[in-house]
Amino acid sequence: MNPTAEQLSIARELCRSQPLAVLATNGGSHPYVNLVAVAVTEDLRTLYFATPRATRKWANLSRDPHISLLMDNRSNQVADFRQAAAATIIGSAFETEHSEREKGLAIYLDKHPHLADFVTAPSCALFKMQVDHIYLVTRFQNVMEFHFTA
Amino acid sequence: MKPLCLALREVPAAAVSLVGGKAKALGRLVHAGLPVPQAVCITTATYEQYLDATGLRQRLPLLLERKSFAHMRWEELWDLGLRIRNLFLNTPLPPDLTDHLSACLPPDLIRLPLTVRSSAPVEDSAAASFAGLHDSFVNVHGLPALLDSLRLVWASLWSDRALLYRQELGLDPAGSAMAVLVQELVAGDCSGVAFSRCPGREDLAAIEAVWGLNQGLVDGDIEPDRLLLDPLTGKIIERHTPARTHACRPASTGVALVPLAPEQRKATPLTEATAARVLALLRQAETLFAGPQDLEWTLAQDALLTLQSRPITTSTAALDDGERSWYLSLHRSLASLQGLRRTIEEETLPAMAAEAAHLAAIDLVSLDHAALAAAIRERLRILENWQEQYRQLCIPMAHGIRLFGQVYNDQLRPEDAFAFLDLLAGDTGLLAVERNQALLKLAEMLRNDPALIAHLRKGGQPDPLASFSVALAEFTHRFGDPALASQGMAAGADPLTVLLLEMAEASPVPTRSRQADEAEFLTSFPPEKQDFAREILAIGRASYRLRDNDNLYIGRLSQRLQEARNEAARRLQDADIPELAALVNPAARDTVRIAASPGQDPAVAGFNGLDSTRLQARQLVGQPAGPGLGVGPARVISQAADLGSFKAGEILVCDAVDPNMTFVVPLAAGLVERRGGMLIHGAIIAREYGLACVTGVPDATRLIRSGEMLTVDGYLGLVTIAGQKAPNLNP
């Protein structure tokens, strides 16, 4: 496997296997971060997450759709500095509706079947993120950028 | 890979963590050559695979960890057990697992009528007996029914009683697993239990027997013949002969209580010869297991079979203290609930009403100070007496709702474990709702009379002969003054008038239309079981209605006490009267919040002294008790006087609400309650009005402040506190 293909493989494995990511929204004076359960499509270009509408992150998202997420596979050991991979995922997120929501729900629930009650509650919003860039960090400081926009 | 299923002869070599205590013991009996019904053990590996393949392993913690287990009330445990049971009911075995399991089950056994019993690794050990805590299913036919019963036995690992017991033993429920014993049903001529040491008289052995199956004895529906014997000589020391009326026998599916034939009523199922054989069996088991045994047996065509044998434990007795046994007594049979209903409807409530009416007729103003003091003491005694009756009769009656809920869920398997509440509410007769509707009518009268509104707003009194005044008098005659019932309302202002003015200018929510489908429930049963379905629905409805109404009857007595105290307080304004002063401040014990759990949520302890300005709750997790989304400013009700300032569109936040306090609910945008449970009054009344409701929020009244904007998410059981500004939830 050539180095680029290997990096793509790491990014795909990371994004597809990790259940949680740190979501950063625009909180006005400061970035605002949370843990969210995520589901990423096979092509890594779309990511789904859910949040009740009474939350801060929902309010932030309704004002500014630009977000980033951090997904990583660290185990909180010293070995992480060499072995852990982290992906910073950048793009815009919008609440899904109608058929787009149905499609996103299927992907989200395939990854998190135990969250069915949560995500299907009428008070819960399902967001679709269009991924523009992924910055993949491996071996502590090796950074590879994936740009999905033209 | 661990086996999904083991024959009994293979069981002794397997780990108890794989086969459970009951199967392990039966396997050892087989090895020792003692006769037992043919059986297989579905191992805990099957349970583990089911949890993994269906995702229940991830879903269960989401339910279990919503609230600290140790902080849950009895009712919340039951709610949790019901939710989990419903999850198992609605999650079939994956096809792969079904195929693998079916391939392991002996076809000759599966063709027979079966008994499906729990065999959990922790049960039936010398340290802890889980006797009767997990479910068994008797007379199960065919593979699909067997697989259904299998899931229900698994689910019983998570029943309220089992959760409670694990909590007491300090066992982590998340680490629990369940093996299941599938036995041939042996329709014995007579059956029974035997103890090599009789509980309470440990120098003697005890044998009990009934005609037919053991199920009637074990469930407590049939009183057995009972012998106490010398364990060494077999000499009979005592014989107890009951009035024999019924036997438990296999029905088309399941079992039924059948009247005994006259000759069996007269004859004992426990002859001396049978007793001698059972005692010999008991000795063999005691030797084999090297300790005193509690054994279930059946006698079929003269063959004596052991159904199960387990050690007699002391831990069960030690844990069986008053509170726990009272709680366990709440699990009532249909027949017992029907008797209880008659007592409450025909005796208890009329007597309470008569007592309240009698007290109301006494002219307190004419009493001298000593007589008034005596009246207060007498009213307190009467209230406490009825509160005890309430605890003994009315709270157990609430189990009718639970019994109905379980039957409904087993039959219709709805996604929402509490959908059955709609069917109960279909035939309300709830006094609290009738009272609230009468309040709405009064408000409507005001709304149509702007001049009267203006007059009242200026502090004026209505013309006593006007139709509004007459209707108001009728209301207070029928329902009492809600403000007075809640005690401690500000003197001077007329809180009822204030409330009616608020209602007249707002648009209180009407009760919602229902989706109750009684026909669907009844016709889901085969014709021969529809009478049972009607009876269980009737008891569920009576239980639902009484659960709420009995609080109002208690409320009337509470009002009479408060009236006497108010009279004393009035006299104390003018003079120092020591004999009355001590009686005016109500002790905590006679608060109307009688249904609340004993003590406050432990989370509150240790909260004092913490600098509250450093702690701001943002989102609190409770239980989703009324579906809907409510947004509005909080109105924290710390004392009843706070109800007087309740405004339309506010969220009612309280510690423990009862029907005497919920006259403001039609004005509310949502309900938040510290006390937990799906069947508490707050949840019931919220469902009636279709309001978002979250219950079981620890510390709700401390962490939420009046005026803060709340979002009550009754779908997810969340309360979000958004400071002083309303969030815009529209996408």
pLDDT digits (tens, 9 = 90+) for B612-623: 445 678 889 899
Helix axes B95-104, B142-155, angle to 10 degrees: 110
Contacts of B728 in chain A (CB under 8 A): 59, 62
- For residue B101, the one-letter residue type is L
Mean pLDDT for B381-387 is 93
Please indicate whether, in this complex, the C-beta atoms of A114 and B59 are within 8 angstroms of each other: yes
Structure tokens belonging to residue B681: 């009054």
- At residue B207, the pLDDT reads 94
pLDDT band per the 50, 70, 90 thresholds, residue B474: confident
Find the range with the poorest average confidence among B27-31, B209-213, B269-273, B607-611.
Answer: B607-611
Give how far the C-alpha of residue B509 lies from the chain's centroid of Cα atoms, to the nearest Å. 29
Across the A:B interface, residue pairs with CB atoms under 8 Å apart total: 53
**B368 Cβ contact partners less than 8 Å away, ≥ 6 residues apart:** none
Q: Name the DSSP class of B559.
A: H
Domains and CATH numbers, chain A: 3-147 (2.30.110.10)
Pair B328, B162: CB distance under 8 Å: no
Please indicate whether, in this complex, the C-beta atoms of A123 and B727 are within 8 angstroms of each other: no
State the residue for tokens 């889980």: B130
Pair B157, B165: CB distance under 8 Å: no
User: DSSP of B639-701, one letter per residue?
Assistant: SGGGGGG--TTPEEEES---GGGGGGGGG-SEEEESS--SSSHHHHHHHHHT-EEEE--TTHH
Pair B500, B481: CB distance under 8 Å: no
What is the ipTM, given to two decimal places? 0.76
Q: How many residues does chain A have?
A: 150
Alpha-carbon gap, residue B319 to B324, rounded angstroms: 8
Read off the pTM: 0.77
Indicate the pairing of strand B670-673 with strand B651-654: parallel
Instruction: Centre a 10 Å sphere on the Cβ of residue B239 and count the other Cβ atoms it contains.
Output: 14
Give B60→chain A minimum CA distance, Å.
9
Please indicate whether, in this complex, the C-beta atoms of B731 and A53 are within 8 angstroms of each other: yes
Pair B37, B305: CB distance under 8 Å: yes
Contacts of B62 in chain A (CB under 8 A): 114-115, 117-118
Residue B726 has pLDDT above 60, yes or no: no
Helix axes B74-89, B160-169, angle to 10 degrees: 120
Higher pLDDT, B498 or B569: B569
Please indicate whether, in this complex, the C-beta atoms of B729 and A121 are within 8 angstroms of each other: no
SS3 B496: helix
Structure tokens belonging to residue B255: 């079992």
Alpha-carbon gap, residue B449 to B125, rounded angstroms: 74
Higher pLDDT, B165 or B729: B165
User: Minimal Cα distance from A113: which residue of B?
Assistant: B55
Nearest to B713 among A54, A95, A117 (CB): A54
pLDDT band per the 50, 70, 90 thresholds, residue B489: very low
pLDDT digits (tens, 9 = 90+) for B504-534: 877 777 766 555 578 889 999 888 888 889 9
- At residue B529, the pLDDT reads 83
Element (H, E) at B626: strand B623-626
- For residue B262, the one-letter residue type is P
pLDDT band per the 50, 70, 90 thresholds, residue B455: confident
pLDDT band per the 50, 70, 90 thresholds, residue B731: very low
Please indicate whether, in this complex, the C-beta atoms of B716 and A123 are within 8 angstroms of each other: yes
Higher pLDDT, B402 or B7: B7
pLDDT digits (tens, 9 = 90+) for B121-167: 876 555 555 566 788 899 999 999 999 999 999 998 888 888 877 77
Q: Name the DSSP class of A30.
A: S
Q: What is the 3-state secondary structure (H, E, C) of B570-603?
A: HHHHHCCCHHHHHHHCCCHHHCCCCCCCCCCCHH
Give A22→chain B minimum CA distance, Å.
19
Pair B537, B404: CB distance under 8 Å: yes
Q: Tell me which residue of B297, B292, B285 sits closest to B317, measured CA to CA.
A: B292
Nearest to B731 among A52, A114, A125 (CB): A125
Indicate the pairing of strand A86-95 with strand A66-72: antiparallel
